[in-house]
Structure 1
Amino acid sequence: MTYFTARTVEGDFEAVVERTRGALQKHGFGVLTEIDVQATLKTKIGQDFRPYRILGACNPVMAHEALKMEPHVGVMLPCNVVVQQTEGGVEVFAVDPAASMSAIDNPELLRHAQKVGEHLGAAVADV
């Protein structure tokens, strides 16, 4: 079982980050958090790193449903979507929520996570 869905696209890194935000929004997700890994590693430990951005995406309706099914599921939220510069272009990849939620013994939550994953996968495909 893979734990993410991905695609590589051409374009400027920052432009792809913005396209990713737009695709997420189109599929009902907002970006709650953003971590610039490249800047953080440079600032905190003086290390150079490729452009790498982690977007914490959340679909509020779907998150609310998950929280009603499993009160501790918040430790696995939001869904991370990553944009990173590679030699072959800019890669966009998103967590497969069903892969992480399979650690919880709750079949209803797993079915719900699969639906969330379909929406995230569609967003990645739209970038």
Structure 2
Amino acid sequence: MSYTINRLIQGAGFDQVDERTRKALADRGFGVLTEIDVKATMKKKLDKDMDAYRILGACNPNMAWEAIGVEPRVGAMLPCNVILREVPEGIEVSAIDPVSSMSAIDNDELKEIAGQVRDMLSEVVKAV
């Protein structure tokens, strides 16, 4: 089982894919709560060079509310991360598969919510 939902975007620049990803997230009720420029961080902290790599911490407040309501400590696993990374073939967009990430929690209600969020994130990735 893959732990991410992936799509390769060709013929577009990194910033363009970032913009399209944020729009696709917003169109499906997600906001970006956190953003980590991994490339800049690795350069600053380790003086290491790498291709563009950005982590967007996305959250759909309605789904987070439901998940926390059935499993209060699930916040330790939120938000849903979406990564953008430069690869030789283009820009890869990957979203966490919440079903996979929540599999360690034995709560059927949470698994149902995670399935709904997976469907939403799959739509996001397809829409980029």
TM-score (norm 1): 0.99
Divergent runs of 4+, >4 A: none
How far is the alpha carbon of 1:4 from its aligned partner? 0.7
Which residue identity lines up with residue 83 of structure 2 in the other structure?
Answer: V
Q: Which runs of 5+ in 2 are unaligned?
A: none
DSSP-derived class of the 1:19 partner: helix
| Matched positions, count | 127
Secondary structure of the 1:72 match is helix
Q: Which residue of 2 is the match for residue 84 of structure 1?
A: 85
1:4-46 CA distance string (max 9 Å, x none) = 1100012000110111000000111000000000000000110
Q: Report Cα offsets for 1:33-71 as digits up to 9, x if no partner.
A: 000000000001100011000000000000000000001
Letter of the 2:77 partner, please give it.
M
Match of 1:20 in 2: 21
1:38-77 equivalences under 5 Å are 38-77=39-78
Please, what TM-score do these two structures have when normalized by structure 2?
A: 0.98
Identity, % of aligned positions: 54
Letter in 1 for 2:6: A
Aligned counterpart, 1:37: 38
Matched residues in 1 for 2:118 and 2:52: separation? 25
Aligned to 2:6, what secondary structure does the other structure show? strand
Q: CA RMSD in A?
A: 0.5
Q: Deviations over 1:59-107 (max 9, x none)?
A: 0000000000001000100000000000001000100001011100001
Shift of residue 2, structure 1, vs aligned partner:
1.1
Paired residue type of 2:8: T
